[in-house]
Structure 1
Amino acid sequence: MGPDSSVGTATSTSGRRVDSDRMARGGGLNLVGAIIQQSALLAIVTMLAHVLGKDDVGRYAECFALLSLLGLMALAGFRSGLTRFVAIHLADADVPRLRGTIRLGMGITAGGSCALAAALALLAPTVAHVMGDEQLVAGVRLVALTLPAHALSEAALAATQGWRTQKAYTVVGRIFDPVLRLALTAAALWLGYGYLGAMWSLAIASWVTAVLALAALWLRLKDVPHQHVVYRIGDVMSFSMVSWASALAATGLIWADTLILGAMTDAGQVGVYNIATRLVTLAVFVLPPITAAFGPHMAHLHHSGDQVGAARAYGSATRWTLLLSMPAFVVLLVFPQQMLKVFGGGFTEGAVVTMVLACGQLVGAAAGPCGVVLNMSGRVALSLLDNALVLVANIGLNLLLIPRWGIVGAAVAWSASIIAVNAVKVVQARRIVGIRAEGASTGKILLAALPAAGAGVLVNHLVDGWVASLVVGAAACGLVYLAGIVLLGPHPEDVRVWRRLTTRLGRLSRRAA
């Protein structure tokens, strides 16, 4: 190897470290946002559970599921498309196509969301009848009011992520929006407006967030030179349409059980199931922020032909997801009833549901952002096929198992689907894209979790009272898990990133002082 190649290797390694550090900073910021977001959403569900009861929690969950599905339909795939193509055009310094992609994505999202909202408002009685609850008519119309704002804010924030920065995405979408919604929901419930007051709170918060998201995108574009606009319609639309169908199938997988439960059981059962899923979502709250930071980096690295850097970034994202979520999974599996009692005694029947869902999501966390690897490498058609097949299987399992086992059947169907689709995507990322999660340290993390689970089981048997058992048990699980990670040896990259982040925080604190 000659001198030029050694210099090139050093430069490449330095570049990967800088990219990894940048992804870590973005992921860290997103993690803070995710903690605030999930805390706010948990507080909203807890208030609904204590103030309104299971039935209205179920109605709120069904309306939110409808908003999520229709929001994806309105986005038409530009959630991933805007992030990917903005990152690519910035890497190529292609300003005309950059502006054209953003205009195309925002225009189609605005038109599609308004058309869907108008149709939903007109068909609200029919939709409520299909969902099996005539009291949902007003809620469905409020979903129609919220839909354009929800879609526009998602599209605008997705475009800002193409700059490989997470500030607007986190501050506006993951901190401001849920905190405002929490405040408005608390006021609505205090004034006695019920679940419709919570839906009005969602609508108002979404429109305020949309204005801020559009302003954040405008500030990014303000620094881009004004040149003629080139619309790369064929490439953008082909990717976005397939990505849209893939994302719709994936979101259908998340919300199909809620909608089917609403049609086959009562709102109370949907409420219990929603509380259980909310708890499990808390365990994997680190996945969306890490995935959001990983996506634009994956698009940039793959477009640049840096397979080694992409594999390391994939491994880092997978490791951070499992490392940070594992303590929560341990607590959910050992203390499901105690966790559900936080929402009131009427929700403890969801303990088995919580454990089943936690097992499925644990496998999903261990798989890491494998779907993002397929999407950002341009294999959206393959991702679509995976998601569509699993969605069909999930719907079939729900229809088969819900009449027999109720909400437990829905949980089994969802977990089996999550395990299957993630296993397939991990294999496809390795065999087709040629990227494996380099340095994921999955075995080490699982090994550290075993004594933590043992400590939790011991506390559960020795400590009386559900509050004391939960508090002491969660602390014991966390401490034993942390000790296990330290004894087994943390990953060198995590140590280096941690030192850089603490140094940066120290500098910021000194400046503030």
Structure 2
Amino acid sequence: MAILTFIRDRLARHRAAVAAVVAMSIKAGGALLTLTVFTLAARAMSADEFGRLAIWFNAMSFLAVAAVFGQDTLIARNFGEYAGKGDYAQAWGAYRFGWRWTLISGAVFVAGLIALAPLIYPDIARTALLAGAFFLFTQTALHYSSHSSRVAVNIVVSETNRELSWRLVLLVVVIWSVLHQGLTPAEFFAAAAIGQILSLGAQLIYMRRSYRTHSVTLLRDDDRKHWFARGLAMWQSAMVEAASLYFDVMLIGYFASPAVAGDYFVAARIANIFMMVLTGLNTYSFSHSANLYFSGQTQKLQDILRMLVLVGTAMVAPVLLLIYVFGVQILTIFGQRYAAVYPTVVVLATACFIMSMSGSASVILLTTGHEKLYSRVITYATLARVALTAVLAWAFGAFGAACGWALINAPLFMALGAICRRACGVDTSIVSVLTYLRARPRESATLSTDVAGPGESKPTAS
């Protein structure tokens, strides 16, 4: 019993670190499942077929971020702010407001996809188009449901269903298809959408339980106009971020070829392990930042952010070394031809490592009232990156595209950390850990002087 009590006390004392490890572990699990799915797909398809699947997957993922209309980020801000003040009538009113706009916007984007895709790609199969539209709608709903359950329930419910559950369903279907008849894009997107419906259902069950805990007689949405304006700014930022994540593969497919796009996609999936860790940091930050910031607990927020970036850096540093040493062997899991992508992986992984050490600056800016500032910075940076990536992809293929991505994004994330420190008063980067460690000896020295008192000799080293 004494041992259990000791463990429980230790876990309670380092709750932020434990929660960060849990969040990042779930994200890492999702990344590994994604790698497994696309490894099987790459081995089952030709280079051009896999490249087209990668292009369509990125396109649908981008449209899903656009279709949620910024409501995923908005609910993290609104629910955290109102629940922190005990105003659950407004908090649940904001939740209902977000669902309304998510479903309307999702339906509009699905209709646009079905109407416009055959005009842009006349050869697209009808089954693949309908499966892609199905995936688009379920992915949009899952985005909003995951962000809302993250702040209203907990990280485990949110991220387990967002990252793992639906990917497990997809993995089973992909394995069955590869072993029996080969994989088609229609099967891929349909299986993913069905898995996302199951994940969505699980999250909604827990959200209903949370609502019963804080149920109110009447939901209020007095700030609808303010929410809409705030959500619009967040939507613009989300669009730019999504473009930064998903446009590269589409640009390479256009300026080079589907096969080269597939090469870059494989490299990006491996480097995405770092971004999954960064997303894990953001996940925990999302669930606490607005509440702590608006309740005046800035120092507690800083302590959490310092712990998060320390844990994140400790987790990704060995991964970077592993990629440097065994990158070629890892790439050959996708197929022998992908060994040539090693330089691209090194460039992307190094940039992602630098970005992960910058911490959750984007989340803090978005959830503490600085969404317009963040939107301007990220928009200008992404426009520059897209232009540079397009030029370098056309000239040097996948490696050139990786250089364009890294040359903009790594400095951008370091700059966002500095902007967050100045605008919000908290430092999200690894610099906060170094500053804290430098301050500790000075505090100890000051304490020793105070204890010694005037006229008394200070302790000397023996």
> How much does 1:167 deviate?
2.2
Counterpart residue number, 2:152: 163
* Alpha-carbon contact 1:146-1:203 (below 8 Å) kept: yes
Counterpart residue number, 1:505: none
> How much does 1:368 deviate?
1.0
* Alpha-carbon contact 2:89-2:218 (below 8 Å) kept: yes
Counterpart residue number, 1:204: 194
* Alpha-carbon contact 1:56-1:195 (below 8 Å) kept: no
Counterpart residue number, 1:84: 77
Counterpart residue number, 1:433: 424
Higher RCO (CA < 8 A, seq sep 6+): 2
1:54 aligns with 2:44: no
Aligned length: 426
How many Å separate the matches in 2 of 1:23 and 1:237?
Answer: 32
Equivalent of 1:281 in 264, 268, 272:
272
* Alpha-carbon contact 1:157-1:217 (below 8 Å) kept: no
How many Å separate the matches in 2 of 1:293 and 1:336?
Answer: 30
Counterpart residue number, 2:117: 124
TM-score by length of 1: 0.78
Aligned residue runs from structure 1 range 255-270, under 5 A? 255-270=246-261
Residue identity opposite 2:262 in structure 1: G
* Alpha-carbon contact 1:401-1:413 (below 8 Å) kept: yes
Counterpart residue number, 1:99: 92
Secondary structure of the corresponding residue to residue 188 of structure 1: helix
Secondary structure of the corresponding residue to residue 145 of structure 2: helix
Counterpart residue number, 1:187: 176
Secondary structure of the corresponding residue to residue 76 of structure 1: coil
Aligned residue runs from structure 1 range 284-433, under 5 A? 284-433=275-424
* Alpha-carbon contact 2:21-2:311 (below 8 Å) kept: no
Change (3 A) 1:441 1:386: closer
Residue identity opposite 1:337 in structure 2: V
1:152 aligns with 2:126: no
1:32 aligns with 2:25: yes
How many Å separate the matches in 1 of 2:141 and 2:33?
Answer: 22
Secondary structure of the corresponding residue to residue 121 of structure 2: helix
How many Å separate the matches in 2 of 1:23 and 1:180?
Answer: 31
* Alpha-carbon contact 2:385-2:408 (below 8 Å) kept: yes
> How much does 1:234 deviate?
2.6
Counterpart residue number, 1:468: none
Residue identity opposite 1:373 in structure 2: I
Aligned residue runs from structure 1 range 133-148, under 5 A? 134-135=123-124, 138-148=127-137
> How much does 1:397 deviate?
0.3
TM-score by length of 2: 0.87
Change (3 A) 1:136 1:326: farther
RMSD of the TM alignment (CA)?
Answer: 2.3
> How much does 1:343 deviate?
1.3
Aligned residue runs from structure 1 range 407-486, under 5 A? 407-437=398-428
- Give unpaired runs (5+ residues) of structure 2: 1-9, 441-462
How many Å separate the matches in 2 of 1:443 and 1:342?
Answer: 38
Secondary structure of the corresponding residue to residue 249 of structure 2: helix
Change (3 A) 1:135 1:300: same
Counterpart residue number, 2:34: 41
Change (3 A) 1:219 1:127: farther
Which stretch of the first structure deviates more once superposed, 356-365 or 289-298? 289-298
Secondary structure of the corresponding residue to residue 286 of structure 1: helix
Residue identity opposite 2:138 in structure 1: A
> How much does 1:443 deviate?
6.7
Change (3 A) 1:403 1:174: closer
How many Å separate the matches in 2 of 1:257 and 1:439?
Answer: 28
Equivalent of 1:215 in 193, 199, 205:
205
How many Å separate the matches in 2 of 1:385 and 1:113?
Answer: 25
